[in-house]
Amino acid sequence: MASKRSAACRDGILCAAAELLEEHGYLDLTIEQVAARAHAGKQTIYRNWGGKPRLALDAMAYKASTIDAPDTGSFAGDLRAVLAGLVGKMGSPGKAAMLGGLLAEAQTDPAFGQAFREAMVQSRCRLLTGAVERAVGRGEIAADIDRPVLLDLIYGPVWYRLLVSGEPLDEGFVDVLTKQVLAAAAP
């Protein structure tokens, strides 16, 4: 019984933290806010996460874990589905500030940086790894394509727009990026 209660408490804290991150960004997130929204004790949060950086990262990873890898039957369809989902989630107003705060933390704390790359970057790459392999098998993309570079070509422009240029992350961007990636990856 206690494990179910613990899991529910953990889920409630992570959901509350994710909501507050999206509403207020990383810099304005406080443990007190999370505890109040989750109806949990601050001590519980500190005991399990140690503080704001790890809690924020785990909250974002928790939200990301609900994203399924698509299998539409074509690389174009899979790529478009992943990009549309990513842009839909990252295009919200508070996302850039929240991710920018986490990236800043990752630059100053090497252990946090490694955890950030595993939770936020590598998990996104895994969404398309199977799609790339299926596409190679179907002859839709070049068999000798450098897979890590292909994933950089896909995700790099999204992060650049989100964190650097401020250009819109919208359906038009998804269409153009999909077309460009398909052209670059063609056999």
Q: Which CATH number goes with the domain that contains 135?
A: 1.10.357.10
- Average pLDDT, whole number, for the chain? 87
pTM: 0.75
Does the pLDDT at position 2 exceed 60? no
173 shares a domain with 81 = yes
pLDDT given at position 92: 65
For residue 60, tell me if it sits in a domain: no
81 shares a domain with 25 = no
Higher pLDDT, 70 or 76: 76
Domain span at residue 100 reads 67-185
For residue 59, tell me if it sits in a domain: no
Count of structural domains within the chain? 2
Q: What is the CATH number of the domain that holds 31?
A: 1.10.10.60
Structure confidence by residue, pLDDT tens digits, 121-152: 777 788 788 899 999 999 999 999 999 999 99
Does the pLDDT at position 43 exceed 70? yes
For residue 171, tell me if it sits in a domain: yes
What would you report as the CA-atom Rg of the chain, rounded to the nearest whole angstrom?
A: 18
| Long-range residue pairs from 17-22, CB within 8 A, at least 24 positions apart, any chain | 17/55, 17/56, 17/58, 17/59, 18/59, 18/60, 18/62, 18/63, 21/56, 21/59, 21/60, 21/94, 21/98, 22/92, 22/94, 22/95, 22/98
The two tokens of residue 176 are: 């153009």
Does the pLDDT at position 160 exceed 80? yes
pLDDT given at position 1: 38
Residue 174's H or E segment, with its range, is helix 171-185
